[in-house]
Amino acid sequence: MLIHNKQIAIVGGGPGGLTLARLLQLKGANVKVYERDFDKNARVQGSPLDMHEESGWAALRKAGLIDEFKKNVRKGADKKIIVNERAEIIFSDHTDEPREDLHNEPARPEIDRGSLRKIFLEALQPGTVVWNSHFISMEKQNEGRLLHFKNGSSAYADVVIAADGANSKIRPYLTNIKAFYSGVTMVEINIDEAAKAIPDIYTLLNGGKVMAFGNGKCLLGGQKGNGGLGFYASFKPAENWAVTSGLDYADKTQLLAWFKQEYSEWSGIWYQLFENATMPVIPRPICCMPLNQSWETLPNLTLLGDAAHVMPPFAGEGANTSMFDALELSECLTADQYDTLQEAIFAYEVSMRKRAATAAKQSLENGERMHSEGALEKMLAVFGS
């Protein structure tokens, strides 16, 4: 095995990084995961994840974690309604029979990010994750790299895998290609104890998700496992809107006034989101890597997940693609068919970039559809089929 007696450093303990660590340990590799969170009890941000049969499910099966995953699936969270700007339900699949795949498993089961992380952490060997390790720099040393962290510690690795997300600090060591603005910005809104705080919207969701379309804008939201709701107000401003808007993102009064103006034709029911939001809300310009990106393969450094191919969230492929990256990279690194690590990494990168470009193209197209005139009718056609 090419990585026999080699130390592997995975920087980033998200779904992709932890999946890779688990898969490599199953093959007997020496792996450390360096994660910036202070410890395992750090709150994991973001909306729930739905696992796709051909990617997320495939990685979980290979990792031997399907049974644990099923115990943590949030039943009904994959159900959705589509509404107009007045919150009138136009489409619902809440009464549909559950779809199952060929393995008699839910088609796209949902799980909270924190629960997924816990499953992987408990499956890894003790001491695999080195917490409070915020990567700041690295340098070449012998045939590998010496990594330096914000807490003053350093660590050597023969092979480094960047799984440190969209703002990866390791990516520039491999390529200077940068993401471009997709044209869409999402304002993230979180509401705690939603049943009490916003009962009308909580009831509307009925434990699942909502997609609201109108006037070239969206509201996308869903239930979280902790009783809260997470929403995104999604629209198409200038690229630097988050900086130049003049909004104080911790000021509910300002934000509600902004929403009333920006979403002027939308029902007052949505005002509850800003009136009861946990402050601050977070503006997120949505970016995407060029679909034709490429770089020279190195023998001791590669990327996976958002560090490699950040893309819009409008196809639900982000975490799934990251986990499949981990599956494919683990197989390349442990295969007998390659003579060198560089050859193995090259094979992975070629396949990874091709897959990611396909997913990103779909996400970009979905984003345009969702923010276009007539988006409601277009999305009804998609889900109706």
Annotated binding-site residues for NADPH read 43
Q: Tell me the two tokens of residue 320.
A: 């799934």
Q: What is the SS3 assignment for 308?
A: helix
Query: What Cα–Cα distance (Å) separates residue 298 from each residue in 135, 156, 324?
Result: 20, 17, 21
Cis peptide before 237 (omega within 30 of 0): no
Those residues with Cβ within 8 angstroms of residue 122's Cβ, 6 or more apart along the chain or in another chain: 68
Check if the beta carbon of residue 90 is closer than 8 Å to that of residue 376.
Answer: yes
Query: Can you point out the beta strands (E) in the chain?
Result: 7-11, 30-34, 49-50, 80-84, 89-92, 110-111, 129-130, 135-141, 144-149, 154-157, 159-162, 180-191, 209-214, 217-223, 229-235, 282-288, 301-303
Going by the annotation, the residues of the binding site are 43, 50, 113, 306
Q: Tell me the two tokens of residue 281.
A: 């809300």
Going by the annotation, the residues of the binding site for FAD are 50, 113, 306
DSSP state letter for 109 = -
